[in-house]
Amino acid sequence: MTAHALSPQAREFIEGDHHLLIGGEWVRGRGADIPIENPASETVLTTIRAASTEQLDHAVAAARAALNGLWGRMNVRDRGLLLNRFSALIERDAGIIAEIMTAELGQTLASSRGVAGSLSPALFRYYAGWTDKITGEAFDPIVGADVQQFMGLTIREPIGVVGAIIPWNASPGMMGLKLAPSLAAGCAVVLKPAELAPLCASYFARLWQEAGGPPGSLNVVHGHGATIGAAMASHDGIDKITFTGSTAVGKAIVVAAAGNLKKVTLELGGKSPFIVFPDVDVEAVARTAASWCFVASGQACIAATRVFVHADIHDRFVEALGNHTRNLIVGDPTEPSTNLGPLVSAAQKQRVAGYIASAKAEGARMVCGDEPVPAVGHYVRPAVFTEVDPAMRIAREEIFGPVMSVIRFDDEQRMLDTVNDTPFGLSGSVWTRDLERALRVARRIDAGQIGVNVHGPMSPQTPFGGNKQSGWGREFARNGLEEFLKIKAITIRIGDRP
Ligand code: NAI
Ligand code: MG
């Protein structure tokens, strides 16, 4: 995107100061300078300043003080109203936020608008509704012989100070996943956005202030993963880390979290299957497979990267897929006709190019993807490979780019064995009109969420998370709220004192 395509509001925000938000104050970062690139034009949008580790300590202390102060004492109705105000502000500014997201990330403006104007405010509104519905239980504990001597109670308390570490993809959605349930639960949060795309988080910090968020309830610190991210994971003042990103960093966080045994929720990589049986509209489902593999130029954890196609329709499906994919428009993400914007960085493009080269070297057949791309910008053509052996690297590793592996099958059980022969278990979908088959296959896929004739629907009420090395815990829905609550049991003697 060229800078002149930005609205004056978006441009003014991007070029302004991106201070840290600590304890309700804007503080100039004392860490390294981080230039933020527009991946479409390869120009520097702005430079932000990272927090120093001392400033991270201040942010953690401010969060703790908020829990012990105004924020911790806020009436649950007012907490809900605050989250609703915040949701309305995100909606009000969704156009600006979408522009910022596209500028720093390269994702098409149309899809940025969906994330900023729809998914993100929906999550804040959904969790606003939970604030006054967090309840415990009363029960008769089995203590002593006389049931009238004791009463048991459980209460649900905020888990404490939360460190939220988010990735660069779809950050307004990521903030909905992390901030909405943790703040609804009454936690105080230190948010660290990704160093590649931190500007939407910077904008959300401003909106939280405008909504009237009490000092220290939400703190935003910028910084690199290896410094500030790692310092959060090992910080003794943080009670819980909620993280989305790579499986490798997820494992590093678990190790670092061992110091104070902080609780950890992880949403990590995926290699999601998209399973197509012969009784479908082949052309339509081929287009859908492409749209879910190439969503956000493939930079989505739920991307449908392994497409299993029944032998009876394989060749027709691949032909339809190739014809469709060759016509997808790769280019300026602010153009309404564009299907795929650039990848987030030169490093990501290089990484993806490495996978494409490995697929060719390992003998997969490239159906399309070799066409030229714009000279400036981190563009990659969407690539479809057939004759992919499930042992090949492109079929096993998370690529995070627009690369599809088509795998032919005829036997349902053998196909399922291959589907599940992966360290990941995030998502997947099955495409057929035969409901019995659909449910049988859905039950056998080892993943957190499965679509039947739909892929990757994101609804606030639908639990989302990964099995195996795709993560720990669940986000969205009541499950996402529970990740930020801890239960306290209280037993009360109500009969004769001893
Ligand atoms: P990453 O996992 O390194 O970055 C995600 C976040 O973690 C960023 O905020 C980063 O600053 C932080 N971080 C990095 N190292 C950390 C550490 N040691 N301790 C604490 N926080 C740390 O992801 P990256 O390098 O940007 O992308 C690499 C690959 O990760 C992608 O190609 C993709 O496969 C995967 N990924 C998956 C995502 C998902 O949605 N599941 C999102 C982003 C990346
Ligand atoms: Mg990294």
Nearest CA owner, ligand 1 atom 28 = 246
- CATH 3.40.309.10 in the chain is located at 273-459
Q: What share of the chain is helix, strand, coil (3-state, %, to 5)?
A: 40, 20, 40
* pLDDT at position 166 over 90: yes
How is residue 4 annotated by DSSP? G
Q: Counting atoms of ligand 1 from 1, which one is nearest the CA of 300?
A: 40
Distance (Å) from CA 365 to ligand 1 centroid: 30
Select from 107, 191, 249, 262 the residue to mutate for testing ligand 1; criterion: most ligand atoms less than 8 Å from CB: 249
Ligand number with the minimum distance to the CA of 178: 1
Q: Counting atoms of ligand 1 from 1, which one is nearest the CA of 426?
A: 41
Distance (Å) from CA 169 to ligand 1 centroid: 10
What angle, rounded to 10 degrees, do the helices at 171-184 and 76-92 form? 170
Q: Which helix (H) or strand (E) holds 426?
A: none
Return d(Cα 458, Cα 2) in angstroms, integer.
31
Residue 464, φ and ψ in degrees, nearest 5: -140, 130
Nearest CA owner, ligand 1 atom 21 = 229
Nearest to 429 by CA among 312, 228, 272: 272
Question: pLDDT band for position 350 (50/70/90)?
Answer: very high
What b/e readout covers 348-385, taking b as 16+ CB neighbours within 10 angstroms? bbeebeebbeebeeeebebbbbeeeeeeebbbbbbbbb
- At 267, is the secondary structure helix, strand, or coil? strand
Task: Give the residue-averaged pLDDT of 222-240.
Answer: 98
- Percent of the chain residues topping a pLDDT of 90: 97
Give CATH superfamily name and number for 3-268+472-486.
Aldehyde Dehydrogenase; Chain A, domain 1 (3.40.605.10)
242-282, pLDDT tens digit by residue? 999 999 999 999 999 999 999 999 999 999 999 999 999 99
Return d(Cα 253, Cα 251) in angstroms, integer.
5
Task: Give the residue-averaged pLDDT of 70-80.
Answer: 98
Q: For residue 69, count other CB atoms closer than 10 A to its CB.
A: 16
Question: pLDDT band for position 3 (50/70/90)?
Answer: very low
Question: pLDDT band for position 147 (50/70/90)?
Answer: confident
Sign, Cα dihedral of 365, 367, 369, 371: positive
* pLDDT at position 1 over 60: no
* pLDDT at position 2 over 60: no
CA dihedral 145, 148, 149, 153 (to 10 degrees): 110
Which pLDDT does position 456 carry in this prediction?
86
How is residue 259 annotated by DSSP? T
Return d(Cα 475, Cα 459) in angstroms, integer.
11
Question: pLDDT band for position 364 (50/70/90)?
Answer: very high
Distance (Å) from CA 380 to ligand 2 centroid: 20
Which pLDDT does position 4 carry in this prediction?
46
Cβ–Cβ < 8 Å for 252, 237: no
Q: Provide the residue type at 415 as one letter.
A: M
Tokens in use for 436? 């019995």
Nearest to 91 by CA among 51, 54, 122, 129: 122
Complete DSSP assignment for 41-83: TTEEEEEEEPPPHHHHHHHHHHHHHHHHSHHHH--HHHHHHHH
Q: What length does the chain have?
A: 498
Question: pLDDT band for position 93 (50/70/90)?
Answer: very high
Tokens in use for 120? 């993100």
Select from 48, 56, 165 the residue to mutate for testing ligand 1; criterion: most ligand atoms less than 8 Å from CB: 165
* pLDDT at position 41 over 90: yes
Complete DSSP assignment for 366-405: EEE--S---SSS-----EEEES--TTSHHHHS---SSEEE
Q: Counting atoms of ligand 1 from 1, which one is nearest the CA of 269?
A: 41
Q: For residue 469, count other CB atoms closer than 10 A to its CB.
A: 20
Nearest to 484 by CA among 184, 221, 217: 184
* pLDDT at position 5 over 80: no
Q: Which residue has the tokens 């996978």?
A: 355
* pLDDT at position 483 over 90: yes
Q: Which residue has the tokens 């349930």?
A: 181
Nearest to 393 by CA among 369, 418, 361: 361
* pLDDT at position 168 over 60: yes
Residue 269, φ and ψ in degrees, nearest 5: -70, 170
* pLDDT at position 365 over 70: yes
pTM: 0.98
Q: Which protein residues are within 6 Å of ligand 1, measured from CB?
A: 165-169, 192, 194-195, 224-226, 229-230, 233, 244-246, 249, 252-253, 267-269, 301, 398, 400
Task: Give the residue-averaged pLDDT of 114-130.
Answer: 98
- CATH 3.40.605.10 in the chain is located at 3-268+472-486
Return d(Cα 298, Cα 328) in angstroms, integer.
13
Catalytic residues, which ones? 267, 301
Which pLDDT does position 175 carry in this prediction?
98
Q: Counting atoms of ligand 1 from 1, which one is nearest the CA of 401?
A: 32
Q: What is the CATH number of domain 273-459?
A: 3.40.309.10
Q: Which residue has the tokens 């007012």?
A: 78
- Percent of the chain residues topping a pLDDT of 70: 99
Distance (Å) from CA 195 to ligand 1 centroid: 10
